[in-house]
Amino acid sequence: MKELFCDIAVIGAGAAGLSAAHAAASCGASTAVIDREEAPGGVLLQCIHNGFGLHYFREELTGPEYAERMALQVRKAQVKMLSGHTAISITPCGEEHELILYSGKTGVTRLHAGAVILATGCRERTRANIAVPGDRPAGVFTAGLAQKLVNMEGVAPGKRAVIVGSGDIGLIMARRLTWSGIEVARVVEIQPYPSGLARNIAQCLDDFGIRLDLATRITGIYGRDRVESVTLSPLSDPGKTEKIHCDTVLFSVGLIPENELARKCGVRLHPVTGGAVTDSAHMTSVPGIFACGNALHVHDLADYASAEGALCGKSAVDFLRGERAPADIPVEAGLNLRYTAPCGCRPGVPNRFYMRPAKVLNNAVFRAVQGNTVLKTQRLQAARPAEMLTMEITVNDPAAGVIRFELEGEEA
């Protein structure tokens, strides 16, 4: 068994992990990135569409281009890239952490790290998670798996598809399938509003004349060997059933932060996001273990995950240098907001928070409040669950108590 040592071990080489590693290495920490796949980039590599990088690189890139830029930065910063390595466990060991890595190239490695950054991304919710009844034929995929098959393996998942859920991957796949000569018969969404970004609704459905049925439920999948049909029912009239013939069903019904390693090493998880509970430094409940990107909470854009990763990478270095910030001011999600990340605010410096609306609200007011004091207000034409909200605040008075974010507006 090999032994390796580093200051900071980042698990996951996606948009968040690479950025965290780059930030940590740029601060002078010896940094290693552990990733299961043969090449860095994570899920970016199968996202061959453009729209990446507008915030982070200030230009429009495809997923693989974005990954390549990130990987290049990381290489230049002398980060040790452990591709094809799966982290099996993290064990706190005195002041440091011991990671066990499995690799088909090098066998088993014990990696000793001063701090660990979890950037393990997320997984897709499946048919089972929304308990769709019916048969269990071939031809049922998560949207991300279908994307991998089409973009990485060059195989078509089927000939005529129904897409369940209007998450961004599902929308992107509606367009991708259409371009590949696979007919998209329908996209159905159980909510009365789309789950994906407005730009994806326009560019991936509207531009191709693909029909989106909102407030509609899939009530069954049928077919013995391969999918033959699905049944749909509008929420407003559950007795009404429409049968659509298709041989493929894609599920794009939400993402869940991947936190198996975190769970196993005792990291406290957030009941709403499924990611870790983190303080203003993105540190979890286990000292020296940090979290960022989609492993922490699901982001709309890779750029945001990278921005969060960069902050996290720097905080991990500060931690290793023994810098201890004053105690956080607790932060909570108030009216019409589902959560905030992180869950604490460091006094006296700017802190950036991400959160997600619980419903669609027009002419909305988005504000941060501490006690009876409104710290900051933003006006929004509309707030949607599909679009993350972010606010940067600086709070100087810890004694004034909990900071609460709120969202008010007209119900759509």
Partner 1 sequence: MAEMQHVAIVGGGATGAALAYFLSLREVKVTILEAKTDVGFGVSKANSGIVHGGFHLPVSTLEGKLELQGNQAFKKLAQELHFPYNRCGIIMAAFSQEELAIVEGFYRRGVENRVPGMEWCSPERLRELEPGLADGVLGGLLAPDGGVVEPYGYVFSLCSQARRNGAEILTDFRVEKARFADGKWHISASDGRSCTADYVVNAAGLYADKVSAVFGGESFSILPRKGDEYLLDKTVPYRPGHVIFPVPTEHSKGVLVIPTAGGTTMVGPTARMTEDKEDTSTTAQDREEIFKIAQKMIPAVSQRDIIASFCGLRPVLQNWTGKFMLQISAKAPALIQAAGIQSPGLTASPAIAEYLIGLLEKAGLNAPCKKEVAPLPEYAKPLREMTPEEADLKFQEDPAWTKIVCRCEMVSEAEIVRAVRMGHTTLDGVKFFTRAGMGRCQAGFCTARILQIIARETGKTVQEITKRGGASRITAENEVAK
The string of DSSP codes covering 264-330 is: HTT--B-TTTSSB---TT-B-SSTTEEE-GGGTS--S-HHHHHHHHHHHHHHHHHHHTT--PPPPEE
3 touches partner 1 by CB under 8 A: no
Q: Decide whether 227 or 311 has the Cβ nearer to partner 1.
A: 227
Q: Decide whether 195 or 336 has the Cβ nearer to partner 1.
A: 195
Q: How many angstroms separate the CA atoms of 272 and 341, rounded?
A: 11
Stretch that binds partner 1, among 149-157, 193-201, 270-278, 393-401 (CB under 8 A): 149-157
| Angle between helices 63-76 and 302-320 in degrees, nearest 10 | 20
Question: Cα 127 from chain centroid?
Answer: 19
Footprint on residues 255-274 left by partner 1 (CB under 8 A): 260, 263
Q: Decide whether 219 or 285 has the Cβ nearer to partner 1.
A: 219
- From the list 228, 176, 170, 230, the residue with the least C-alpha distance to 195 is 170
Q: Decide whether 191 or 231 has the Cβ nearer to partner 1.
A: 231
Choice from 39, 149, 244, 369 touching partner 1 (CB under 8 A): 149
Q: How many angstroms separate the CA atoms of 230 and 253, rounded?
A: 16
275 touches partner 1 by CB under 8 A: no
Q: Decide whether 226 or 321 has the Cβ nearer to partner 1.
A: 226
Stretch that binds partner 1, among 104-112, 165-173, 197-205, 402-410 (CB under 8 A): 104-112
- From the list 386, 323, 317, the residue with the least C-alpha distance to 113 is 317
Choice from 73, 83, 219, 378 touching partner 1 (CB under 8 A): 219
Q: How many angstroms separate the CA atoms of 23 and 34, rounded?
A: 16
Determine contact, residues 188/178, Cβ cutoff 8 Å. Answer: no
x-or-dash string of contact with partner 1, 65-84, rule CB under 8 A: -------------------x
367 touches partner 1 by CB under 8 A: no
DSSP code of residue 153: I
Q: Decide whether 157 or 334 has the Cβ nearer to partner 1.
A: 157
Q: How many residues of this chain bind partner 1 (CB under 8 A)?
A: 54
Choice from 41, 158, 167, 257 touching partner 1 (CB under 8 A): 158
Smallest separation (angstroms) from partner 1 to the CB of 155: 4
Choice from 12, 14, 157, 313 touching partner 1 (CB under 8 A): 157
Q: Decide whether 152 or 349 has the Cβ nearer to partner 1.
A: 152
x-or-dash string of contact with partner 1, 18-37, rule CB under 8 A: ------------------x-
Q: How many angstroms separate the CA atoms of 213 and 203, rounded?
A: 17
Peptide linkage before 157 cis (omega within 30 of 0): no
Choice from 164, 182, 301, 333 touching partner 1 (CB under 8 A): 182
How many Cα atoms within 13 Å fall on the side-chain side of residue 10?
A: 37
Choice from 50, 129, 363, 377 touching partner 1 (CB under 8 A): 129
Q: Which amino acid is at 284?
A: T
Choice from 3, 94, 95, 153 touching partner 1 (CB under 8 A): 153
- Dihedral sign of CA atoms 295, 44, 65, 76 in order: positive
Question: Cα 285 from chain centroid?
Answer: 20
Q: How many angstroms separate the CA atoms of 83 and 106, rounded?
A: 11
Smallest separation (angstroms) from partner 1 to the CB of 399: 38
Determine contact, residues 366/380, Cβ cutoff 8 Å. Answer: yes
Which residues sit at the interface with partner 1, rule CB under 8 A?
1, 36, 84, 86, 88, 100, 102-105, 107-108, 110, 123-124, 126-129, 131, 133-139, 141-142, 144-145, 148-150, 152-159, 180-182, 219-220, 222, 224-226, 247, 260, 263
